Structure 1
Amino acid sequence: MTINAPSRTSTAPLPPGPGSRAPVAVQTLLFGNFRQALMPALRRYYGDVIHLRLYPKRDVVHLANLEHIKAVFSGPATRFHAGEGNLVLKPVMGEHSVLLTDEGTHLRARKLLMPAFNGAALRGYRDMITELTRQEVRRWPSGRVFRSHDRVRALTLEIILRVVFGVSEGARLEELRGRLGEIIDIGVLDIFGWHNEKLRRYGPWRRAAENQRRVDDLIYAEIAERRRAGDLADRSDVLSRLLTAPAGDDPLTDAELRDQLVTLLLAGHETTATALAWSFHELARDQARLATAIQAADAGDEKYLEAVAKEAMRLHPVISEVARKLTEDVEIGGYRIPAGFVVLPSILLVHADAGHHPDPSRFRPERFLGDGPAAGTWFPFGGGARRCLGAGFSLLEATIVLREVLTRYRLSPDRPRRELTRPRNITSVPGRGAHISVTPRPAPPRKPLGSPS
């Protein structure tokens, strides 16, 4: 299927939905806090193409039909602007962020960041991820229920700090850890303050703005110190790579560096941490699959452990949609969508569609073995030319962490029921923090990760 601009004589209607009927604030709060229930209900009522209006004054069109979504992902980048579609993140990520730029500016940023996440770089990170994971999981309390999401968030933040800066020690980075956590751990109401100068004068919005300014101060201080380093060419961390990357006569400014570093620090650990927390949560409630995962960990079976992480991302999408802002009118599913609207391909609805994933409410890592699901039906990292460049890093990290935990512990649930999801900033996370308990296992003979079982 292709998506074309409608003819000048097109009489196609705008998509149906509550977009022009309900107040923007109401739609935003419902969408932000209850989309797991809201969007399936709206799909049953309106169909696969749904119009909403969300703060800050955005007309959005939610897409659930896989063919429509594939057409968006394969469409020209000049027509579907992912950077403009992510405008809501601009106050935090910055205008130069690889997530918020388009066309030539985006390609330049992506080209500079790509070497830090290619195959050779990933192989170089393996030992570091393994060692940091072992240090973390040794501290997990045996026989006591705890929030696994908190623990893996701390771990994945340590890992991305090491990837971005090459070190994770020092007073500056210690302060940065806590302040980055404050940026991430916010709700839908907090986001209103991102785009409203008046709100930022009061209460939690003022504190969030002050925290953001302090994060920027810390990042700029780190950049200034690194610029003075005499061994940049010998370093492999992202900051050093960006400072030494050939960029013709147009080197990155401090502001550009700040935006890319903040983007990596915030986006570079949240997806993996949440996928791991859900993985532990689901395995603890399914002893048969836990036994299979433990066997895979003992044998160094990387494929099954990766399948566990992928299934957690399918069943519990961390990001519910991806966004593309239209630079010209298009026609999708018989509806006219004007330039300036944002289309939202729905990860949530495609992942939960029984037509693409049989028995979609069940946790079944096996669906990702062999040929796996049909192409395009699993896209937690987005799709097309804008697929997240850290996807391979995230899956490698998840696989290593799963192995280190499962070779050391057995997992148990704190209750039989699955936790509900709750919103946090633009992501969805386990509502109670993915509570589990662990008990030590006898140490198995270790095989290199990736060995055949």
Structure 2
Amino acid sequence: MPRKVTFSSAGFSHRAANGRVPEPVAPPGPRLPPMVQTLLFARYRHLWFPRLRRIYGEVFSLDLVAPIRHRVVVLARPEDVDEVFGGSVDVLHAGAGNAVLRPVMGDRSVLLTDEDEHRRARRMLLPAFSGPALRTYEEVIRTVAVAEIEQWPVGEAFRAHHRMRELALEVVCRLVLGVTEQARLAELRPLVRQFTNIGQITLLGLSHPKLSRLRPWRHYISLRQKLDEWIDAQVANRRTAADHPTDVLSHLLRAAESAEGGGFNEVELRDQLVTLLLAGHETTATGLAWTLHELSRHPLHLRTAQRAADEGDDACLTAVVQETLRHKPVIYQVARCLTEPLTLAGYRIAAGTTVMPAIGLVHLDPTHHERPETFCPERFLDRRPPSPAWIPFGGGARRCPGAGFAVQEATIVLREVLARYDLRPDRARPETPRPRQVTQVPARGARIVVSRRENGGS
């Protein structure tokens, strides 16, 4: 086991007691071949990480090979994760940590840029997700939700995750890209569905240029080109529109007109829209599917949430969403690549290392969440989720700019579902998480059965 180096309680001191800068020392970790570690990480991280935590403690190392071989240091203690989120964004590069997504999201995506470029992109995006902007989106979300939910088969088992993906896709098509014409929506929906149905191997292989000539990578690159062309045409149409819609694209175009030094160029704008389109509906749909999965298996919490839906108590419904995101995190971990050596969690970590705050482990920390394995929405009633122990959207300067939008959408959709239906699972045994790209989805699609409420609010 590697020797542990002790540093000051400040955590970020750069010198040992003798005044010398210490040599980098990796935390302990498994000695499995890197390819085996990579496969375990890709398929079973929600099971493997808790086991590694029991063996090695709150910080441990991995040796992964995707997209290239690199050392990863996993952090499980909220206080250490908070230091990463609050640390210098010039030292902790999230864009480099998300490099595997570059062929999907684009080079200029807010998820892939760092330092000044990221700060500028984030500043341009935030107004579209401000409180006043979010209020203008509420009615569209509700209308889309009702239209989808009313089509659900009563008395038959179905995959809630699939239905929520369709619902969330419709929301982002309308509210991110501002598409309302049925003909244009009919063009966009299948394109996005195909683009988001990317497997783990395809995703990892996109970073290797030699694979671009082979299927399925060649096909996926072609899909991205088609999506780019579609978005470029939508942007061009919106620039010449006489009306002033209240969708994200319109916010970004208006921000560009007033931005000092100009707004996003065509490539930047397209990459932001692709990012919002893909990340905005996959993560929200998965969170909602897990929410219905949990409520269908907890009748008392279901009844409480149904009363909240009937009475318009959105605070209670939001607490259900927040607890689901804690109990079943959609994103299990985030990554930061070090541009220089850094002292963290008692170790001097070398430049080039990927530091990985493990959201799934932080959310199971019993010092911050009583009975963390229990689904208990009441823990979030009448109080804000504890930071840094609740981090489904990351934290610090890289916290997801669409976090408020995601929680708002989930709360509205949940209200409409519970006002109409009772829920039950199709079988008693809970579903386990399964990796899907960067998310953790219900393995069987969150299969539920719904029935009409006799005394519902709708």
TM-score class normalised by the smaller sequence = over 0.9
Corresponding residue to 1:184 among 186, 196, 207: 196
Between stretches 53-62 and 86-95, larger displacement belongs to 53-62
Aligned-pair distance for 1:442? 3.3
Q: Tell whether the 8 Å contact from 2:168 to 2:284 is kept in structure 1 after alignment.
A: yes
* Code of the aligned partner of 2:67: P
What are the within-5 Å matches in structure 2 for residues 195-234 of structure 1? 195-231=207-243, 234=244
Does the C-alpha gap of structure 1 residues 5 and 219 become closer, same or farther in structure 2, counting only changes over 3 Å? farther
What are the within-5 Å matches in structure 2 for residues 36-75 of structure 1? 36-54=46-64, 55-57=66-68, 58-75=70-87
Which residue in the other structure is 1:309 paired with?
321
SS class of match (2:411): helix
Aligned-pair distance for 1:240? 2.2
Query: What do residues 126-158 of structure 1 show as CA deviations (whole Å, max 9, x unaligned)?
Result: 111111111111100110000011111111111
Q: Tell whether the 8 Å contact from 1:281 to 1:435 is kept in structure 2 after alignment.
A: yes
Corresponding residue to 1:24 among 27, 30, 34: 34
Does the C-alpha gap of structure 1 residues 22 and 175 become closer, same or farther in structure 2, counting only changes over 3 Å? farther
Which residue in the other structure is 1:441 paired with?
453
SS class of match (2:156): coil
What are the within-5 Å matches in structure 2 for residues 102-113 of structure 1? 102-113=114-125
CA RMSD of aligned residues (A): 1.8
Which residue in the other structure is 1:149 paired with?
161
Aligned-pair distance for 1:159? 0.8
Query: What do residues 65-92 of structure 1 show as CA deviations (whole Å, max 9, x unaligned)?
Result: 1211111111122221222221111111
Aligned-partner Cα distance in 2 for 1:239–1:122 = 14
Aligned-partner Cα distance in 1 for 2:170–2:253 = 22
Aligned-partner Cα distance in 2 for 1:23–1:188 = 19
Which residue in the other structure is 1:263 paired with?
275
Aligned-partner Cα distance in 1 for 2:206–2:183 = 28
Does the C-alpha gap of structure 1 residues 68 and 249 become closer, same or farther in structure 2, counting only changes over 3 Å? closer
Q: Tell whether the 8 Å contact from 2:93 to 2:114 is kept in structure 1 after alignment.
A: yes
Aligned-partner Cα distance in 2 for 1:135–1:170 = 14
* Code of the aligned partner of 1:250: G
Which residue in the other structure is 1:319 paired with?
331
Which residue in the other structure is 1:396 paired with?
408
Between stretches 245-254 and 56-65, larger displacement belongs to 245-254
Aligned-pair distance for 1:209? 2.0
Between stretches 305-314 and 353-362, larger displacement belongs to 353-362
Query: What do residues 102-126 of structure 1 show as CA deviations (whole Å, max 9, x unaligned)?
Result: 2221121112111111110111111
Aligned residues: 442
List alignment gaps of at least 5 residues for structure 2: 1-8
Which residue in the other structure is 2:4 paired with?
none
Aligned-partner Cα distance in 2 for 1:222–1:74 = 38
Between stretches 298-307 and 237-246, larger displacement belongs to 237-246
Aligned-pair distance for 1:357? 1.6
Aligned-partner Cα distance in 2 for 1:30–1:389 = 30
SS class of match (1:343): strand
Corresponding residue to 1:93 among 105, 108, 112: 105
What are the within-5 Å matches in structure 2 for residues 255-294 of structure 1? 255-294=267-306
Aligned-pair distance for 1:389? 1.2
Q: Tell whether the 8 Å contact from 2:339 to 2:352 is kept in structure 1 after alignment.
A: yes
Which residue in the other structure is 1:169 paired with?
181
Which residue in the other structure is 1:299 paired with?
311
* Code of the aligned partner of 1:101: T
* Code of the aligned partner of 2:12: N
Does the C-alpha gap of structure 1 residues 39 and 258 become closer, same or farther in structure 2, counting only changes over 3 Å? same
Aligned-partner Cα distance in 2 for 1:240–1:11 = 51
Aligned-pair distance for 1:342? 1.5
Aligned-partner Cα distance in 2 for 1:200–1:361 = 43
Aligned-partner Cα distance in 1 for 2:237–2:11 = 49
Aligned-partner Cα distance in 2 for 1:327–1:17 = 22
Aligned-partner Cα distance in 1 for 2:181–2:365 = 45
